[in-house]
């Protein structure tokens, strides 16, 4: 997912080359007023060509990707239908960001990089906003400066290291970081128009902002959502926190990070500190020829997306709600993938709803001789998808 390279790229319109240093100085003051935090030191800026920024980003992507369990996550995504068979998860992300990057805050060198060239009018959303008097370069800049502010106060690289091993926690942290910066950007637009920022809450919805992401059409749909949803779902999460205690409540979330995508999708559960169950089970050794790749957590967000492919968004949201925790383990034998996935739910009714959804997934067929079934024991549901014989845990 996107946090594997920590560069916090804003996927909007290309930036026009102009006096970047002056913009950064001016917008830093605007940011401090909006966000209620002071930059501890100025943020240096540097303008590079889009090709130069893309090369730098690819190098950092490869450096960070080497330590993350792409193979484990790719097996899961293939087996539950989030990615089509044969689609390379790592390559899809790398290709997307190489195409999309226009500006970024780099927490390694503590600088703001701007990709020069292009025109905002090349993107329809940018053209609409520009026609209304919005300055796309300023919006880009204040978004990325907020990442610098986050880094100076909350240490983004540490957050990345602390959550990297858990897909669901990493996604949740990404939503906090990008939601914060997107909300700052929308507040900046409101202030520029002489409006109270709260008046913008209903004006910039997910579908409107999604149109501001050019060039994503070639990426697999789930990869597009992984990239886009942290901005929009994260903004909704940060709005909910801000309504309960202003920006200070958002600040506190960096000290007690959201524990799951469930807390992002249902901010009231974050506020109640409703944490997921930590699952652990001993798996028998796989048969000869099979390799155990590792385990990870899917979370409510992934389950929703699995369900959307099977039963549509409304029923999927219902089936995913009530998630209490999960753990999946991935296997590989040559090109054959296998999955063991254990979930726990808040109630038996929640578990039954997921059992029905998982049955549709397993019912899509599987490889003869491999385990493809769903089992439920009260609030726990086990899903086996092309799993090696004899590896199902007792639960």
Residues 321-339 have pLDDT tens digits of 999 999 999 999 999 999 9
pLDDT digits (tens, 9 = 90+) for 94-111: 888 777 567 789 999 999
Nearest to 229 by CA among 268, 315, 171: 171
Tokens of 2: 């996107």
pLDDT tens column, 269-320: 999 999 999 998 888 899 999 999 999 999 999 999 999 999 999 999 999 9
Backbone angles phi, psi at 383, to 5 degrees: -120, 125
Residue 210 has what pLDDT? 43
CA distance 101 to 9: 6
Cα–Cα dist 376/384, whole Å? 12
Check if the beta carbon of residue 150 is closer than 8 Å to that of residue 247.
no
Checking if the pLDDT of 112 tops 80, the result is: yes
| Res. 5: pLDDT tops 50 | no
Residue 226 has pLDDT above 70, yes or no: yes
Each residue of 26-61: pLDDT tens digit? 999 999 999 999 999 999 999 888 888 888 888 888
pLDDT at 268 over 50: yes
pLDDT of residue 209: 46
Lowest mean pLDDT among 88-92, 197-201, 347-351, 379-383: 197-201
Place of tokens 């490869």: 62
Tokens 């390799």 label which residue? 291
Q: Which residue has the higher pLDDT, 272 or 192?
A: 272
B/e letters for 28-43, b = 16+ CB within 10 Å, e = fewer, are bebbeebbebebeeeb
Q: What is the pLDDT of residue 35?
A: 97
* Predicted local distance difference test score (pLDDT) of residue 136: 81
Say which range, 34-38, 97-101, 145-149, 236-240, has the weakest mean pLDDT.
Answer: 97-101
Output the CA torsion sign for 30, 31, 32, 34.
positive
| All CATH 3.30.1360 domain ranges in the chain, comma separated | 291-387
Q: Identify whether the C-beta of residue 329 lies closer than 8 Å to the C-beta of residue 291.
A: no
- Alpha helices, DSSP H, located in the chain: 20-35, 50-65, 70-79, 89-100, 124-131, 136-154, 156-163, 167-192, 206-210, 221-255, 261-265, 267-271, 299-311, 313-320, 348-362
Q: Could you tell me the two tokens for 123?
A: 């993107």
Say which residues have a Cβ less than 8 Å from residue 116's Cβ, sequence separation at least 6.
15, 16, 17, 47, 48, 49, 50
Q: What is the pLDDT of residue 131?
A: 58
Phi, psi of 251 (to 5 degrees): -55, -40
- Of residues 17 and 261, more confidence is placed in 261
Burial of 151 (0-12, 13-18, 19+ CB in 10 A): buried
- pLDDT score for 128: 45
pLDDT at 127 over 60: no
Average pLDDT over residues 146-174: 97
| In the block, residue with structure tokens 């605007």 | 30
Residue tagged 């303008």 (tokens)? 47
pLDDT bin (cut points 50, 70, 90) of residue 130 is: low
The CATH code for residues 291-387 is 3.30.1360
pLDDT at 229: 94
DSSP state of 15: B
d(CA 4, CA 60): 9
Average pLDDT (154-179) is: 97
Count other C-beta atoms under 10 Å from residue 118's C-beta. 17
Least confident of 56-70, 118-132, 157-171, 181-195: 118-132
DSSP state of 220: -
**Residue 213, token pair as written in the block:** 């992401």
Average pLDDT over every residue of 212-223: 72
Q: Is the pLDDT of residue 204 over 80?
A: no
Token digits of residue 131: 């026609």
């Amino acid at each position: 997912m996107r946090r594997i390279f920590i560069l916090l790229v804003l996927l909007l319109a290309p930036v026009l080359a102009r006096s970047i240093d002056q913009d950064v100085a001016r917008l830093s003051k605007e940011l401090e007023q909006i966000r209620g935090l002071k930059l501890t030191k100025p943020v240096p800026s540097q303008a590079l060509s889009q090709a130069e920024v893309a090369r730098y980003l690819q190098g950092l992507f490869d450096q960070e990707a080497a330590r993350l369990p792409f193979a484990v996550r790719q097996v899961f995504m293939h087996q539950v239908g989030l990615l089509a068979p044969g689609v390379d998860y790592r390559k899809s992300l790398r290709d997307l960001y190489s195409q999309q990057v226009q500006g970024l805050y780099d927490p390694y060198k503590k600088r703001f990089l701007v990709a020069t060239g292009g025109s905002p009018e090349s993107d329809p959303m940018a053209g609409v906003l520009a026609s209304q008097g919005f300055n796309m370069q300023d919006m880009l800049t204040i978004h990325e400066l907020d990442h610098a502010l986050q880094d100076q106060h909350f240490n983004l690289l540490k957050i990345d290291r602390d959550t990297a091993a858990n897909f669901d926690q990493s996604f949740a942290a990404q939503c906090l970081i990008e939601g914060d910066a997107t909300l700052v950007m929308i507040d900046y637009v409101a202030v520029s128009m002489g409006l109270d920022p709260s008046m913008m809450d209903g004006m910039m919805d997910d579908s409107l902002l999604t149109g501001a992401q050019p060039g994503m059409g070639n990426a697999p749909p789930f990869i597009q959502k992984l990239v886009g949803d942290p901005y929009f779902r994260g903004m909704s999460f940060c709005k909910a926190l801000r309504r309960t205690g202003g920006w200070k409540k958002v600040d506190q979330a960096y000290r007690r990070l959201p524990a799951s995508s469930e807390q992002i999708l249902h901010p009231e559960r974050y506020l109640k500190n409703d944490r997921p169950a930590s699952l652990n089970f001993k798996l028998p050794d796989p048969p000869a020829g099979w390799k155990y790749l590792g385990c990870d957590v899917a979370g409510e967000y992934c389950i929703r997306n699995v369900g959307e492919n099977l039963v549509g968004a409304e029923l999927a949201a219902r089936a995913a709600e009530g998630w209490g925790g999960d753990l999946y383990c991935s296997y590989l034998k040559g090109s054959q993938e296998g999955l063991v996935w254990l979930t726990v739910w808040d109630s038996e009714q929640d578990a039954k709803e997921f059992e029905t959804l998982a049955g549709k997934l397993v019912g899509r067929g599987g490889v003869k001789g491999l385990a493809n079934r769903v089992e439920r024991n009260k609030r726990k549901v086990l899903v086996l998808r092309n799993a090696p014989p004899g590896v199902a845990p007792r639960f």
